[in-house]
Every structure is written in C-alpha cells, then in structure tokens.
Structure 1
Amino acid sequence: MRLLNRIIYTLAFLAITASARAQLLADSLRNIVAQPQLPLEKRIDAMDRLGQVVFFNTGWKEGLQILRESLSMAAPMKDGQYRAHTYGMMAASYYITGDATTAYNCMDSAWHYIRHSRSGLMKGYVQYMKGWLQSREHQETAAIHTLQEALDILEKEPDGLKYRQAIYSELGGIYFRWYDLLNVEKYTRLSLEAANRLGILDKLISANQERGSYFINLYRSDNSQHKALDSALFYMRYSLQLARANRVRLVAPSDIPFSAIGIANIFLEHMPATAANKDSIDYYNKIALEEGRLTKQFAVEAGVYNTLANMAYGRGDYNEAIEYLYSAIATSMKDPLYDKYNLSQSYFGLAEAFEQKKDTAMAFFNYKQYMATYQELFDVEKMNKAKDLEAKYEMARKEKALLEIRLLAELRNRELIKARYLSGQKDQALLAAKYAAIVKDNALLDAKYEAEIQQKALTSANFKTAKREQELKSMGERFSYNRKLNRIYSALTIALFLAAAFLFYAFKQRSKALRQKQLLHELELDKINQAHRMSVLSAMLEGQETERTRLARDLHDGLGGLLSGVKIELSALQAPIKVSSPDTIVHKTMGHLDNAVDELRRIAKSMMPEVLLTYGLGEAIKEYCNGLRKSGVPVSCQVYNYKNDMSPGRQVTLYRIVQELVNNAIKHAGATEILVQLQQRGQRIFLVVEDDGKGFDTTQMQALKGAGLANIQSRVEMLHGTLEVTSAPGTGAAFNMECSVNQDSI
C-alpha cells in the first residue's frame, strides 16, 4: 500500500513537469503560427504539428479542434495537398480515439483533395496513410500492396525519405505480426538507416525500439544467440536514453513508456533472478508506469500493474497483488481500444489471489470474468489468424508470379551476356600483346626485388640469432617456475578428489532417504484413494437402497391398497347375498382401477419422468418444479440457453441431482424459498440450487455429509464435474455444479 502511494505521489509530480514541458513545445509552435509575415503554407504546416503535439500531450478533443482550424486555413489554397495532409493526420487521430467511421471519412476526403494536387510527395503520404489504416484493420495483404505503391511514388521525390522511413517502420510491424523475421530484419534496418540520415528525434527513437524488438524476437526463436539479447538491450536502452534526454522536443512522449516496459520485460523474461536484475526490473517498471500514466498509454500502465501484482503474489502478499490488479483493470477500461489480453490476465490474477485468501465467491466471479474476456480475445485472435493465413497465401501467390517474371528476365540477361562474351574474345587478343610487353618489364623489376630480399635475409638472420639466445634464457627460468606450480597443482588435485568422494557418498545417502520417503508417500496416497472409493461406493449403494425402499413403500401403500380394494369389491359378486347390484360393484371397481393406474403412472413418473425422455432435461426440471409448486412447495425454476444436446444418461444423472438437492432443502433446511437454475454456455452446463433455509457450516461438511450429500458428490464425479458449496449457519445454502455437455468434450 505504501509503495502504491509513493507511485501515485511521484506520478502527480511528474504530471506537472511533463505538462510544463509539453506546454513549452506547444507555445513554441503557437508563436510560429502567430507570426504575421509567415507564409500561409508554413502556417498550415505549423498548425498541423501543433495539433499533433496537443493531441498526444494535452487532450484529444483540443488536438482535433486545432486540426479542424488548420483545414479552415487551407480552404483558400487551390492546391489540395495541404488539406489532404491535414485530413490524413485527422484520420489517424480519430482511429486512435476509437472512431473508425470518422477516420475513414477523413481518409476519403484526403483522397478527394490529393486528386487536385501535383505533389508526388503528398500523394505518397496519403497512400501511406491508407496502408496505415488497412494494417490496423488486419488487411495485411492490401496494406503491403498499398505501402509498396507509396514507396514507388516517394522514391522519386527528393524529400520523400521522411515518409519512406515511416513506411519501412509500418512494413516491419506487419511482418512482426506474421513472425517473418527475415523481412522484419530488412525493414527495421532500412527504417533505422533512414532515421539516422534524417536525424529526426521521434523517428530515431521509434526506429531503435523496432530494431531492439527484432533482436529480442530473434533471441526467442534461438536462445543460443546471446549477442541478439545484448543487441536488444542496447537498442532499447538507447531509445529510452534519447527519449528521456530530449523530452521537451518530443511530439509523442509515449515512446518513453514503451521503451521502459520493453527493457523491464527483457530483464524479467530472459535474465537470471538476481538482486541486481530485480532492481533493474523495478527501476524500468517505475519509469513505464509513470510515463504511461502521463502519456495515456493505458496498455503499458495496465501491463506494469499486472507485473507488479505477479511479483507481489510471488512474495505471498495477496492484498497488495489484489490492489495492483484492480488498478490494472481500471486502467484498461480507460482505453477505448483496451488490451483484452491485459484485462484477461488481470481477472485471472484476481481469481488466483482470492482463491489463496479462501474467498471462493470472489475467486469464482473473477474467474468467470476471465473466461468471458479470454473467450472474446480467443475469437478475435482466431479471426485475425485466419486473415493472416489468407494474407500470407495471397503474398505467396504474388511472389510466385514475380519469380516467374524474374526468371524470364534472367534468361534474357544470359543471352545478352553471351553476345558480350563473343565481343570480348576479340578484345582479348589485343590485351595479350600488351600483356607480353608488361611481362618483360616485370622480369627486370623481379631481379631488383630478389637482390633486396637477400640483403634483408642476412639482417633477419642476425636478429633471429640474438633473439634465440634470449629465448633459451627465458625458457630456463620458466621451467623452474613450472616445476613449483606442478607440485601445488598435485596437492590441490588430491584434495579435490577426496572432497568429491565425500560429496558423492553424501549424495547417495540422501538419494536413498528421499526414495524411501517417496515410496511411503505413494503408499499413503493409495490408502487415501482406496478409502475415498469405498466411501463413494457405499454412498451410491445406500442411495440405491433408499430408492428401492421408497419404491416398495409406494407400491405397497399406494398401488397395493387400491388393488386389495378392487379384489374385495369383485369378491362381492360371488357372495350368496348381493348387498349391491353387479353394475354398481363394477362401476366402483372401474373407478378404483383408474386410481390404481394413476398411482402406477405417478410411481413410474417419479422413477423416470416421461417428459425427460421426450423433451429433455430443461423441460423435465421445469415440470418437476411446477409440480412441487402446485403442491405448496415454494420452488422457482430458471432455464437459460439449454440446447438439449446431452446424452440421456447424463441428463438422468443431472435430474437425480436436482431431485436430491431440492428434497434436502425441503426436508432438512426448512427453506421458504428455493431456486433451481440450469444454464448452458457452449459445451459447459451450469446447475445452481439455492435456498434460504437454516444453512450449515461448510468446514464441518465431512461430518454432516450423509447418504444424500455423498450420493450427490458421487454423481458429480460420474459426470467428471465440479461441485462448489457455499453456506453458513442461518444464511441458507447454494450448490453450484459445473460439467461438460458430453463425456468426450471434457
């Protein structure tokens, strides 16, 4: 809690500092716009940059308003390039805010105005912005095609390097998603080279980030490449250093938290868990958290909170972990395009923390939130992967066509080379004559060179003799020193051998003791499992005997009495003295037979309801509850999304569980209200039975568990399901049961 308060106080202080720095950059651009003699086209460019700075530092609405004012300034300009540029920036800005419809409308306006301009530079920019939007809509194949067209346009423009660098960066990002490391290396390298040539701060920072990301992915693909890990750290640290040292000049300070969290994750995932590395993780996580809050990079901020929560969970501080996870969820919800992966991990962490605190209700609630979020994330990723596969297939088809064209060009080049070879043979004869003259001149030079070599050989021989004498003296001294070292090494070797022998003996003794403990543990587990199976079997047999006793009692008391009455009435027909007329006796007998048939149907229905076999579990539970309610039992039933695709045996087992739970609530709990709820989500069935009766202490459940509860538990195990019981004395009870639709989907 104190750590969280310190972070909040630090964030408040840095928010004031960052706001002041952003204000300085914005004020500088406003002074440029206010210059009375400034040409209109430069004033429009300054307004666009001002809108971008305000959008990323002060607020989205104010930044978009400045861009709209820039559009108004550009209205008198006949050349449509200025409005096209502003509309392109607005398209990206609206998309970042989550308004994709307005973003595409702005993109259409940019295309409209660029048609009224001859500026190839701006046409390339609009084409780039179209590819930028396609990439974020997971239209990777179309995006690559559009961005390559933009490169073709911009390569002809002298000032096109700035936008070409952005396109290299965008292409690198697409291939990152495809995990095509060969193309990622190519485009991140081109992006960094272009950024170095431009010298633009924001582009240098992002290009170094991308290069670092490439190397960390290269290391993940092959952990033996330690140089790749060192390179990743170098580029990410250099990116962070550039951003923090020049914060006042940054248009988008969000580069700082992205670099910081990238470095923190490198230390967390790939470095040994030493105290120094832990300090580095804390240091860079703190930077990422502070800067993520300042720049509204909610995904970064939520990711740091999740990391801090995992570290607190590892220390066993579950309360602190819960605080961080709630902060992560609140932060994720601030983002209109929130990161579903971060959110799902936050819910999962909360479920684990509450489970450790024995708060099963909160653990179950957060686990359900995690499952819902993860299912949504899984569906999106599955759709995106399908689009990726289609995109890769389309790229492969186009590359195949390109290779065929290149093959034809290669064949033509070979024919041209052959023609040039024939022409070169004629030139070779002339060169041979010139070569003969040069050989004669070289012979004279070789003779002079040999004389110089002999003189140098004599000088070298004298030097080697003196050097040899010195080496012999040095070797004698070295030999004496080595003999002393050999004695020391021999003594150390003997000592090490004795120590190794002792350690080996201790290791064998410890291994023997551990194996004995493991054997005893396995025997104890077998004993416990056997006792559990005997308990389950006993409960099932007792439940069957109870059912048979109830069936016998119903047959004897109900059907037996009715049939005995029929027998007595029919015997009156054979009596010598007729008390009643035969028609009256037959009529009364038929009535009793009807009652006997109804009683027989009631008994059969209680054993196996016809509606269960005909219409399925949902309708059977509804009819069962309606029958109880008509007889005065306060039972309500709710069935949601049940598709009746379970096997009959599993439906009967679930029906018996409902009967047993409701019967317990009526007979033992003294309930005044009972709720039965059946729900299906996908391939999972959820059954809830709640009552407001006297309840019981769940910690004493083993002592309280009679045949009824044991029978319920055994049936849940037959379904390979889970049963969660929530109750306390005086608060009623809730039984939550979950299983799969069919046995093969478990």
Structure 2
Amino acid sequence: MKYNGQHFILVVVLLLLFTNNSKAQSVEDSLRRVLAQKNLPVAKRTDAMNRLAQVLFFNKGWNQGIQMYRQSLALSAPLKDGQYRAHTYGMMAMSYYIMSDSVASKKYLDSAFYYVKRTQSNRMKGFVYYCKGWIEARTHQETAAIKAFLQALNIYEKEPDKLLRQETIYAELAGVYLHWYDMVNVEKYTRLSLKAFNKLGQLDKLINANQVRGAYFINLYRNDSTQRKALDSALHYMCRSLHIAQANRSKLITPSDIPFSAIGISNIFLAYFPRTKQYQDSIDYYNKIALEEGDRTQQFAVQSGVYMAMGNMAFESKDYDKAIAYINKALVISAKDLLADKFNTSESYLGLAVAYEGKGDIAKALDNYKEHLKLYKELFNTEKMNSAKRLEMQYEIAKREKILLEIRYLAELKDKDLIKSRLETQQKVQQLLVAQYTASLNDKALLQSKYENGLKDQALTSARYKTVQREQELKNLQQTAEYNNKLKKIYALTTLACFVVAILLFYAYRQRSRTLAQKQKLHRLELVKVKQEHRISMLSAMLDGQEQERTRLARDLHDGLGGLLSGVKIGLSGLTPLITVPAQQTIVANTLNHLDSAVDELRRIAKSMMPEVLLLYGLGEATKEYCAGLNKAGLPVNCQVYNYKNDMAHSRQVTLYRIMQELVNNAVKHAKARQILAQLQQRDNQLFLTVEDDGCGFDQTIMNDLKGAGHSNIQARVAMLNGKMNVETTKGTGTTFIIECSAKVENT
C-alpha cells in the first residue's frame, strides 16, 4: 500500500483555509478592558463585543460565543445604521455553520443581507458578501462562492483600506481554485495573498499565505515532476511558515498554524523524497511536532493525518499490526471532528482493508472494503451534479486511482481475484464518470444547437413581422394623407380661431385661479398661526399655574405644616422628663418617632413638588438627584448628563424636569423593567432628553388612544417647548422616549 501524499497535502491546505481557530487569552483580556470603559460609544462597543464573541466561541465554548453575539444584537437594536447588526448576523451565520446548523446559518445570513441594505457602508456590504462566499465554499458551491468573493472584491475597491479587506478574499479564492486544480488562478491568488500579507505584516495571515503558496508549488510539481525547483519552492514556503509560527508562538492568534505547517512539511518528505535515514528522521521529527501541537490545539484533522502517514509507513515495512493500530487511531480521532472530510475517512477504511488483506484476514478486509466503497459512493452522489470542469477533475483522479490499482495488481499476484474485483469496481466508477462527462458534453452541444436554431427562427419571424408592419404603416400613411388633405382647408381657419380664444380664456382662468389660491393659502396660514398661538398661550398659562400652585403648596407644607409638626415634637419632648411610667414613656417615644417620619415624608413631598436643587443648581443636578433618590429606594434607575451648560430659562428647565419625572415614573409603574436610563445631553443650542427601559414595551398604534393625564401632560409640555417627541417601542423589547428642544428660544 503506497501513501497518497499529494492528495493529503491538498486536503490539509483546504482545511487551513476553511478553519478559524481560538484567539490568545491576551486578546480576550484586551477586549474586556475595552468593554469596561463607561463612555465607550455604542458603535465601538458592538464591534468589541463581536470580536470578544469570536474569541469566546473558539476558546471557551460555542454557547458563550453565541450568547455574546446576542448581547451585541440587543445593544445595536436602537441604531438606525444597519451595518452593526449586519456585521453581527454575518459572524453568527459562519459560527452556526461551524456548529453544523445549516438552517440557522442560512437564516442569519439572510438577516445580514436584510440589514446591510440599511447602510451606506461599502466595508460592511463587502463583508456580508464575503460571509456568503465563505459558507458556499464550504458547502461545495464553488461557482456561487467565486461569484460572491468577486462581488466583495469589487465593493472593497471603493474603500481606502481595500488591501486590508481584499487579502483574506485572495486566500479564499486560492483555496477554491486549488480544489478545482485550476493552477493558473491558484498561482495568481496565492501570489496576491502573499504580497498583501507581506505588505501589511499580519503575522497569522502571513503564515497561512506561505502555506497556501507552498501548496501551489506542490501541485505544480505533481503535474510535471521534471520541475524540481517547484518542489524546492514548496518545501521553502512550508518551512518558512513553520519557522515564523514557532518563533512567534506567544503572539499567534491561531496557534494551530504550527501543526498544519509541520504536517505539510512531513508529507512533502514522505511523498517526494527517497526513504533514506536522513529523510526518515525528518519525517519523524515533523510528525512529532504535528502530533504534539495538534493535540494542544485540538486539530483532529492533523492528528488523523499523522497517524495515517505512520500507518502507511508501517505497512510498507510489512508491520501490518502496527499499521492497523495507527489507522484505527486516525479513525477514532476523525470521529471527534464535526467537519471531518469523508474522503480521508474513506482512505482510512481502504488502508485498513489493505492491511488486513496483507495480514491474511480476508473477512475484515472485505468489511473495510465495503465501508470504503460506501463512503466513496456517498462522495460520488454528492459530486455528481457539479459542472463539467469538476467532472473532468474527478475523471483525472479516477485515472490516477486506476494506475495505482494496476501497480498494486502487479505487486500482489497472490491475491489476484480480490484485487481484480477492486480494479473492476474502480474501472466501472471511471467508466461511469467518463459516460457522465460525455453525456454532459452532448447535452451541452444539443442545447447549443437548439439555442442557435431558436435564434434563427426568432430572427426569421421578426423579419416577417417587420415587413408586414411596414406595409401596414405605409398603407395607413397613404389613407391618412388623403383624409388630411380633404379636411385641411375646412378646419384651418376654425382651428386658428379656437386656438386664439382658448389662449385668452386659459390666461384669464389661470390669473383668477392664482389669485384665489393665494388668498386661500394666506387665510389658512393665518388660521393655523392664530390656533397655534392660542394653544401655546393656553398651555403656558395652564402649566405656569400648575407650577405656581406646586411652589405655593410646597412652601406652605414646608413652612406651615412642617413648623407645626416641629412645634408638636418640641412640646412632646418637653414632657419626656416628667413621665416616669415606662409604658407612658414608650408611647411618647413612639409618638416622637412617628412625628419624625411625618416631617421626613413632608419634606420629601415638598422637595418632589419643587426641588431646591432645580432652583439653585439647574436641571442637570436636579435630574441626577431625582434618579439617585429612586436608586436609594431600590429602583434600577441610571442617570447620565453630558455637556449640559445650564443656560436654559428656568421655566423651560422646570417643564423639561416635569417631563423627565413623568416618563421615569411611568417606566417604574408600568414597564416592569430591570434597568431604566435617564439621559440629558446638550449639543450647541439643542437639548436631548432620553428615557429608556428594557421592560415589556407597548403597541404604538394605541398610544394616541391613551386617555391618561400623564401622557397628555407630556405631550402638552413638549408642545409648550416647541420640541419634538419620538417613541420607539414594540411589545417585549422595551421603550425609548426621546425629547428634543432648543435650550434658548430665538426671537422671530
């Protein structure tokens, strides 16, 4: 049994391109420090959360990563720009593909395309198309993947940092074309990828680019073994990738680059160098690195590949028991890999079959041959709908398989019948592939012929139709000319007279209509202006009266009832030394405590009706004190004040303070929220008051039908400020009120 090193190198390189590994712990700590910043903008916070989700997904477990993605989605929900949610949905689509949930992967990819339509960011549009191509490349939709990648490249051309975006796509395209054995395009994109990574200096991607470039030269040498320089170049690039990875282990984002590079080098020596002691030592050395690093980074494909190589070497030494043990280890490790390649598993069963065959255990050999053929058939059924180019590639692979089987046939004449059966099976598969390829070419030629005939028929029909149409048009023109000549003289004077009269009537009508329209417009504007002025004056008078009454009541309660209660307390305190009976002393003490509570409650009510902080220090400090009081009472209210200059008229400050009070109270009473945010922000002459909660929300369609005094007062006060109120809510997602008004009223 001869080890097929060329094929394994191709599979390893594809796994390199199709695997995204865990990030270092230092990256996670750095991202958590960024997220700990209190004033971090929402856009930057969502980006940091997405990167942390990726780290958690590959380091701490899939569930932790998905949970962080969902938190990012919730945080970016209020943002109007769709690029942030599109970014999160794209990364979730790729994550769910890794979790083998293709339904969820497609759903989140559709969501990414939905939100990317709501942004002008070319960077994010290119990223979503990249996600689409990434998934299609891994689901064997290579043609669609190439189309998506090229769309992403075209979009990135408009970006100033296009090279930073395009280099990853170059590597993906190289992997797809390598799968197709399209060496011209593989050379092009591996060269562009390596050039970009050398220029950008990104360590992990530079390692990957050297690996892919090495794979290109390996396949170049396979096609023409006289090109010895190609083999030397392949070994050079693979060794360079390993040396860079080992020298920068602590800086690597993807430490699995080390085992992938090691197994690539080992298989070059195994497949293309003589089995001398010097080269055997090199194979053992790099296999040891690949096994140790593969176990450390949980790269099952690498470990499985090493054990398969060791099994093949044991088979060549006719140590069948050791070969069987190594290949069984490869199968056990492959079973742990959710994305294990069926071709490698099929080759493992074939190796076991040949090893048992060499050992003389025909029954087990046949069992493993059956497993090999079963997987081979599944692979064939999966690939049979691919393009003619893919069929041609499979045909070439089948030809090489036939040559290998013929070599085995000559070397193992003792088991002639069994090998002949295997050869006939492979020949049938080859013949079937040839027949399918021929049929596809015939179908293509037939469709081309039908298409050309259809074009000819269509052209003939079109020519006939145009001829008939021209004849009919000529006939109609002649009839029309005769008829026009008859009526020409009769209608000439009549038409001229009517035209002049019509012009005069139209001019008079137009002048009258303009005058009436202008008068009506002026009248409507005057009515609207009068109504608005009346409404505003009524609102102003009503609210001023309310505030004056609040101020009077607060002063009367504090000065009148407060003083009275304080006097009662002083009087009772004077009786305390005169009372000697314990029971009476207890009653007096309880009464004094109740009086203290009543005085405190009285002060709280007076302070709520007209806070002294609002009068002395302005709206910003009053808002903070009000939220702090609710927090002390155990209510989850958070307050944020940014750039408030306290240059607003006192009456407008009071009005805005009442709006904030009413909105926060509504959230506390009705929203069932875990968190409530009250935010006051000033930009130049504009003030923004935001009250947001994560409670139960409500249906906006019924908001205008609400009859509560609270909602009416809010609307009235906003109108009095000449401001705007925006409400964003749906059931189950919380509520956000945004009030916008001017800090200073400009005279008009």
Short-chain TM bin? 0.3 to 0.5
What TM-score does the superposition give when structure 2 sets the normalisation length?
A: 0.48
Of structures 1 and 2, the one with the larger relative CO (CA 8 A, separation 6+) is: 2
